[in-house]
């Protein structure tokens, strides 16, 4: 990682789970000032917005404990070790909605917490060649399908009815690919 003249002098793990790690890092900035950072490390992820030939989108709705409510989102999840972002995106879309995407268009990537988080989310558009038969999620994820026209998904993102930053950005970036 390029640290632009910053040097980590000490990194101490304060928490670890299968989903995240938290470290407390002592660093010297480019001017030699000593600073302390708490960093949350998450596995990188992939988010895939699926749009069919009739311009319908396939979103998910599920309860998010950290958010404290139900959330409408673009399907996505963590990249498993050894997977490419594209492979993870296709896997997540299939796991969450039963949709098989053959080709993904990259919508770039983003970091949601640049000051105290290490995580990159890769965004994709799956332009489907047919209206798919959908099979939402597994019992442990308890996922509901939200099937709306792309224009409605864009409106939901604009009106903060979709709150997850990865989902909002994926929808806005996909707009230029929707005829």
The whole-number pLDDT of residue 17 equals 94
* Domain assignment present for 136: yes
* Domain annotation covers residue 104: yes
Q: Is residue 17 part of a domain?
A: yes
Residue-range definition of the domain harbouring residue 82: 45-177
2 found inside a domain:
no
In a shared domain, residues 52 and 119: yes
pLDDT at 112: 83
**Same domain flag for 119 and 58:** yes
Do 50 and 109 share a domain, yes or no? yes
Per the domain annotation, does 1 fall within a domain? no
For position 131, what pLDDT does the model report? 87
Do residues 136 and 58 both lie within one domain? yes
Q: Does 53 lie in the same domain as 29?
A: no
Residue 93 burial (CB count, 10 A): 28
Q: What is the pLDDT of residue 115?
A: 85
pLDDT recorded at residue 133:
85
pLDDT (tens digit, 0 to 9) for every residue of the chain, 179 residues total?
557 889 999 999 999 999 899 999 999 999 999 999 999 999 999 999 999 999 999 999 999 999 999 999 999 999 999 999 999 999 999 999 999 999 999 999 999 888 889 999 999 999 999 988 888 766 667 899 999 999 999 999 999 999 999 999 999 999 999 97
Pair (84, 164) in one structural domain: yes
Q: Looking at residue 139, what is its pLDDT?
A: 63
């Amino acid at each position: 990682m390029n640290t632009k003249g910053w040097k980590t002098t000490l990194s101490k793990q304060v928490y670890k789970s299968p989903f995240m790690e938290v470290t407390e890092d002592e660093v010297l900035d480019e001017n030699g000032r000593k600073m302390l950072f708490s960093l949350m490390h998450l596995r990188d992820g992939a988010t895939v917005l699926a749009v069919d030939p009739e311009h319908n989108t396939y979103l998910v709705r599920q309860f998010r404990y950290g958010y404290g409510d139900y959330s409408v989102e673009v399907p996505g999840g963590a990249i498993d070790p050894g997977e490419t972002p594209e492979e993870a995106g296709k896997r997540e879309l299939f796991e969450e909605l039963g949709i098989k995407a053959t080709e993904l268009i990259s919508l770039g990537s983003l970091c949601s917490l640049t000051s105290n988080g290490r995580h990159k989310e890769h965004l994709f558009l799956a332009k489907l060649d047919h209206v798919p038969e959908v099979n939402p999620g597994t019992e442990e994820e308890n996922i509901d399908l939200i099937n709306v026209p792309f224009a409605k998904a864009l409106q939901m993102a604009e009106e903060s009815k979709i709150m997850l930053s990865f989902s909002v950005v994926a929808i806005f970036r996909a707009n230029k690919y929707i005829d």
